[in-house]
Structure 1
Amino acid sequence: MPQPSPPRLTQAGNIIHTLPDCPGIYRFLDRNGCALYIGKSINIRSRVKTHLAEARGLSRKHRMLSETKCIDVRPTAGEIGALLLENDAIKKQAPAFNRRQRSIKKMWSYALTSGRGEFCVPTLQSYSMHKPEILASYGAYTSPSRAKKALEQATRDHGLCPRILGLEAGKGPCFNFQIGRCRGACADFESAESHNRRLKAALRFKGFSAWPVASPVLLHEVASDPTLQPAQEWHLLHNWAYLGTFDTLELARSAKLLPGFMFDKDTYHILRRALKHHPGPILRADTLETIEWLEPLTTR
């Protein structure tokens, strides 16, 4: 999509009328074209005007504007695109005057792997596109210790075996079985099939959030005023990761999914809200089948 020419920031009054009053992102750029600040708004013109009005004295915004040589904008079809593009741009460009969202907040999830005797064992991993199997992945945790506490809680609440799940070392019956809190998977009183079924139920209903489909999905966003902004955009999403925004369905479906898209906390929360409240259809990118999106439960 052709991008608007960046208006020169000579005097505040000279640029406001050139900015679009539609959703999108904007960047304050220094003399070398490096981003000093990246923001988003449902009305770019109004938001930039607020920045200029608040730049007084020795304030942080005054210092930012004193280094700013121009502003460029990227209109979007709607608010979801603005949120995703802003977060992506801040992560990649790390503007000096952005305090939030600059770093990728690494997240952790559980993948179910095969253990002894066909029992499923939760294995902690850092979620990324390098590991695209997502149907058996659960959780969005900011640290391994929080992930372990959540698994321990699910084990207690559902009478699962901590030894089978790798939470307790040793051989033979686990301590929980001896006090009546384990149904005996470790002592051959419960089959692998039964324990696996209860484990998956526990992960699903105790606040773990799995990406519910095996392929990337497409979220379609349509503009309210296509004279000012793109008429429509397609957002490509997978494994709670943002893979790009495209002008056409064909471009979105033909995009190559390169490795290295991390499971990022900020993106995760943006997508949870967007997918829950989006009024339009959500499609599988491979088949264009409409998905009935089920809102994941809140993670711990």
Structure 2
Amino acid sequence: MSEPLKQSVFPGLDRPLAIVDLETTGGSVTRDRITEIGIVEVDAQGVREWTTLINPQVPIPRSIQGLTGITDAMVADAPKFEQVAKQIWQRLEGKTFVAHNVRFDYGFIRNAFADLGFPLSLETLCTVKLSRALYPEHKRHSLETIIQRFGIAVDERHRALADARATYQFLCRAASERDSEDFMAAVQIQTRRPSLPPGLDPAVIETLPEGPGVYYFYGDNDSLLYVGKSINIRKRVMSHFSGDRASGKAMAMCQQIRDIKAQATTGELSALLLESAEIKSQQPLYNRRLRRLSTLYTIQLHETDDQLLRPVIIPVSDADRQLKMYGLFPSKKKAQNALVENAQPFGLCDHVIVTNTKISGPCMGHQIKRCKGLCCGEFSRLQHNTSLLDALGKLALKAWPYDGPVALIENQHTKGGDNAYTAFLIDNWCLLGSHKGQGEPDLQVLIDKQDESAMLDRDLYRYLVKAVFESAPKVRIVVTDKLKYL
């Protein structure tokens, strides 16, 4: 590897490369630590190699020692990351960060620098994705498989520099075997650089967290343009600036952005609920989907004296919570349209569905052969009631599965060992209150902060149903008598 290698060997890569491989104490970016780093630098001056063991300051699991051959004794006298951070940075600065499964290696490196208070932002290239793009005829693209497929000589597998060399050799083989335009296209799909809005300070991007939360786009005079949520705020924000993915309206919005702020949350549920509340309270210019509605309507069925079920459209605030509710609608008209649309295929009577009037002869639906004949004695009340229940079945709201209020606890384990949480007080799909803290959730604080005027909300209902019935990640449900008898 002593011969100079010019950048033009790798079409589409217009800057020097740092091909990196790490060995670590495990697979968790936030919990585990780096034990070894190997870097192959490639630029117009040639190819250079660098490697060092790193003292992770934690024991290396036996399974990892068996895989890598790196033992606690080997790293005992090795430098700590902060002692070699400057050397590592000098080898990465201004280069494209290349790795096999780059998300793993770059995540560890970026997190290690973040611990030192130094934000790292490099262009990345994943050779796993590159292999899949260039060799779609193969099903497996692990480094082990690639080494065997190309006959790459490796002296020590699962050692950082040896694996970085193997990754470099794969790049060389792929660049020589594949058409240069195909290679360039595969590279540029990964390394395309979004164009930041002209009025936005690029340094703002580095301040955005890479975890869950809500982000805010501001225009001139601090006018709020847009509110969004994501499980990775920085990544989601950058996706707004990829012009090939944006609509004309989205691109117009991006051109107006002057500042971006973010509010981190403990998880996805918190982000969803916060986004919904912020959009409805602040009414950003470019958000249209989650407008606040002063009144929601639903459909309920009431049985008349003649044992006939009749649908009634009422405000949700007036609904009988002991009866099933069918749908949440922004207006009476939309509720009526949904009722008719769902009822017609079941042959239901217009006197019940459309006009809600006394049955006094054939309805219009029967005259055009749409009604099965409740109004003419051809269809019994029992049959009509059963058909009506079937017709509205898909509109039915989920029944509240508890006897009273419950607490939804969303946890986030932080690097410092603290267990951050957000607790939500929920009853009948209504959000009564929330509380953020650390350690064991304080339910009394949650109870004290409850909003007894809280009403059912269409968007929150959807999010909460998913959290309760689909076991949202990192969310647990607490049911205690303290909550039950509020």
Rounded to whole Å, the distance in 2 between the matches of 1:244 and 1:154 is 35
Residue 81 (structure 1) shift: 1.2
TM-score (norm 1): 0.64
| SS at structure 2 position matched to 1:259 | coil
Residue 23 (structure 1) shift: 0.5
In the alignment, structure 1 residue 208 sits paired with structure 2 residue 400: no
Q: Deviations over 1:37-77 (max 9, x none)?
A: 322221223334556787xxx95323221xx3xx5432211
Residue 270 (structure 1) shift: 3.5
**Does the CA contact (< 8 Å) of 1:215 and 1:285 recur in 2?**
no
Q: Once structures 1 and 2 are overlaid, which stretch shifts more, 83-92 or 144-153?
A: 144-153
Q: Superposed, which structure 2 residues align to 1:36-75 within 5 Å?
A: 36-49=225-238, 59-65=252-258, 68=259, 71-75=260-264
In the alignment, structure 1 residue 278 sits paired with structure 2 residue 476: no
Q: Determine the structure 2 residue equivalent to 1:261.
A: 455
Q: Which structure would you say has the larger Rg?
A: 2
In the alignment, structure 1 residue 163 sits paired with structure 2 residue 316: no
Rounded to whole Å, the distance in 2 between the matches of 1:144 and 1:190 is 28
Residue 91 (structure 1) shift: 1.0
Q: 1:277 corresponds to which letter in structure 2?
A: E
Q: Which structure has more helix as a fraction of its residues?
A: 2
Distance 1:60 1:36, change over 3 A: closer
Q: Once structures 1 and 2 are overlaid, which stretch shifts more, 83-92 or 209-218?
A: 209-218
Rounded to whole Å, the distance in 2 between the matches of 1:286 and 1:34 is 46
Residue 153 (structure 1) shift: 5.5
Q: Determine the structure 2 residue equivalent to 1:181.
A: 372
Q: Determine the structure 2 residue equivalent to 1:140.
A: 328
Show structure 1 runs of 5+ residues with no match.
1-8, 290-300
Rounded to whole Å, the distance in 1 between the matches of 2:361 and 2:468 is 44
Q: Determine the structure 2 residue equivalent to 1:101.
A: 289
Q: Determine the structure 2 residue equivalent to 1:297.
A: none
In the alignment, structure 1 residue 20 sits paired with structure 2 residue 213: no
Q: Determine the structure 2 residue equivalent to 1:81.
A: 270
Q: Superposed, which structure 2 residues align to 1:221-240 within 5 Å?
A: 221-223=410-412, 225=414, 227=416, 231-238=420-427, 240=429
Rounded to whole Å, the distance in 1 between the matches of 2:254 and 2:287 is 12
**Does the CA contact (< 8 Å) of 1:119 and 1:195 recur in 2?**
no
Distance 1:227 1:63, change over 3 A: farther
**Does the CA contact (< 8 Å) of 1:135 and 1:210 recur in 2?**
no
Q: Determine the structure 1 residue equivalent to 2:54.
A: none
Aligned length: 266
Compute the RMSD of aligned alpha carbons: 4.5
Q: Deviations over 1:111-152 (max 9, x none)?
A: 234544464432112334x64626332123455445334434
Q: 2:396 corresponds to which letter in structure 1?
A: S
Q: Deviations over 1:17-50 (max 9, x none)?
A: 4433211112345787664432222122333455
**Does the CA contact (< 8 Å) of 2:226 and 2:287 recur in 1?**
no
TM-score (norm 2): 0.43
Q: Deviations over 1:211-246 (max 9, x none)?
A: 402755543322254659972222344555544432
Q: 2:202 corresponds to which letter in structure 1?
A: A
Distance 1:200 1:283, change over 3 A: farther
| SS at structure 2 position matched to 1:25 | strand
| SS at structure 2 position matched to 1:231 | strand
Q: Once structures 1 and 2 are overlaid, which stretch shifts more, 80-89 or 220-229?
A: 220-229
| SS at structure 1 position matched to 2:301 | strand
In the alignment, structure 1 residue 111 sits paired with structure 2 residue 304: no
Rounded to whole Å, the distance in 2 between the matches of 1:72 and 1:28 is 7
Distance 1:274 1:50, change over 3 A: same
Rounded to whole Å, the distance in 2 between the matches of 1:204 and 1:229 is 47
Rounded to whole Å, the distance in 2 between the matches of 1:162 and 1:145 is 16
